[in-house]
Amino acid sequence: MIPVILSGGSGTRLWPLSRGVYPKQFLPLVSDKTMVQETVLRLEGIENLQAPIAVCNEDHRFMMAEQLREVGVQPEAIILEPIGKNTAPAVALAALAAKKPNDILLVLPADHVIENIPAFQQAVIKAGALAEQGYLVTFGIVPTAAETGYGYIKRSKENISDAFKVAEFVEKPDAEVAEAYVNSGEYYWNSGMFAFKAGRYLEELEKFSPEMLAACRLSFAGAQTDVDFVRLNKDAFNRCPADSIDYAVMEKTDKAVVIPLDASWSDVGSWSALWEVREKDAFGNALTGDVIALDTQNSFIHSGNKLVAAIGVENMIIIETDDAVMIAPKDRVQEVKKIVAVLKNEQRPEADLHRKVYRPWGHYDSVDSGERHKTKRIVVKPGAKLSVQKHHHRAEHWIVVKGTAIVSKGDETMLLSENESTFIPLGVIHSLENPGVIPLEMVEVQSGSYLGEDDIVRFEDKYGRT
């Protein structure tokens, strides 16, 4: 069995913590591990698991590789999608990457919370046995409420080894219909998790969506491999139709079965959903960071940087980050994505970027900016090196605060230690490297007529960036 980790979501309903460049699956929302890490770690103990295949946005490739490395997981491959095409093409690419058509793919979105790990693992083992018999298995979550935010799966009366043939998939219902679904006992929440043989999935996809499979084959055949990364042929993949597994295959095949799963599952699709799975105080509040809550009940309050003080608040969501504050009633959190739409329409960076931006070499935090200056805190990981580059519109001052830096500028190379500095004039080719065993911490002061991140001409980059 090969775990397939799907990491294509943007998590807009968890803004401002989740952003386009750093979405929720890469955040530690429930524990000290990120959601991607929790996804792979909850598989520990299942026999005969192979190395996972991850499918993610090209912009997230270094975060995916680094977060898997942090928990000791070496992926079989990290497939990079140049553009999101929904789950059916993503799983087709993983199936094409599997070494044998009889390999069973365990398809897992990277942003779920599952609290009852033994129940989940037992369901996975059952799914593997059914997949061996040629079935396409999905996991139906036993509903605990009449949720209108989930799609549903109706089971038939035909029982197959503790699973049921799928009668139909249904869209997100209104409250009255959801109530009827739950009361009937015949419906489950659609989890978006699956298990099937790689070859069987490709056979069904060819039957029901041959154009999609042809585009996936072309893009995979023309892919380039760079260490763990599989870079698809962009032109071929852009021609691929976008569709979910449900629509493309599962609704049409006669081999779909559903395994009921009662394992305290959540897709953490909103702030209220996250509040439900978080530990709470005696007043029903989930509090994170520097928070003082007086006469406050049933609220989610997150402080990223500043003291957040709340008085007389009930059923509210208050999220503070270094560059944004979001406040909403708990019953209106589905509308947070409208805020993101406004930000995108106004081309504001807060839609996609945090103030702290992660790079394969480390991260930087833009702490101050003006019309002709910007100040950053820069942290470079041991052994990491920024690209050899130059800028057309800005000069830079670098001050080493901690660690050691090898700086190249023009024909000059120097070693800088703590409290030492250097100046990089506009237009001079330069690079920065951390030769030490501890993180290099620096302050960078930029000055010039244009300070955008796109004012970079790269001549050489160890991470394959252009």
Strands 104-109 and 2-7, by their bridges, are: parallel
Whether residue 226 is predicted with pLDDT greater than 90 in this model: the reply is no
Q: Give domain status of residue 98, yes or no.
A: yes
Same domain, 293 and 360: no
Using the predicted structure, report yes or no on whether residue 465 has a pLDDT greater than 80: no
36 located within any domain: yes
**Final residue in a domain of this structure, among 230, 247, 266:** 266
pLDDT for 358 beyond 90: no
Under the banding of pLDDT at 50, 70 and 90, the label for residue 422 is very high
Note whether 262 and 115 are same-domain residues. yes
131 part of a folded domain = yes
Residue 320: predicted pLDDT: 97
Other CB atoms within 10 Å distance of the CB of residue 262: 15
State mean pLDDT over 152-180: 91
Mean of pLDDT values over 210-233: 92
- Same-domain status, 245 and 286: no
Q: How many CB atoms lie within 10 A of CB 451?
A: 18
Q: Output the domain CATH number for residue 193.
A: 3.90.550.10
The residue from 266, 294, 318 where one domain ends is: 266
DSSP letter, residue 297:
B
Give ∠ CA 247-250-255 in degrees, rounded to 5: 155
Residue 39's nearest CA partner among 82, 5, 76, 10 is 5
Given a cut of 80, is residue 431 above it in pLDDT? Answer: yes
pLDDT of residue 2: 97
Count the residues in the chain.
466
Are 429 and 452 in a shared domain? Answer: yes
Q: Which neighbouring-strand residues pair with 3?
A: 106
Q: Which of 169-183, 275-289, 406-420 has the lowest mean pLDDT?
A: 169-183
Question: Which residues have CB under 8 Å from 416's CB, separation 6+?
Answer: 398, 400, 404, 405, 406, 407, 422
What is the extent of the structural domain holding 295? 271-337
Instruction: Choose among 35, 20, 149, 148: nearest CA to 84.
Output: 20
Q: State pLDDT tens for residues 32-66.
A: 999 999 999 999 999 999 999 999 998 898 899 99
How many folded domains does the chain comprise?
Answer: 3
pTM, two decimal places = 0.88
Rg of the chain over all Cα atoms, to the nearest angstrom: 24
* Shared-domain flag, residues 87 and 74: yes
How many H-runs (helices) and E-runs (strands) does the chain carry? 11, 30
What does the pLDDT average to over 424-452? 96
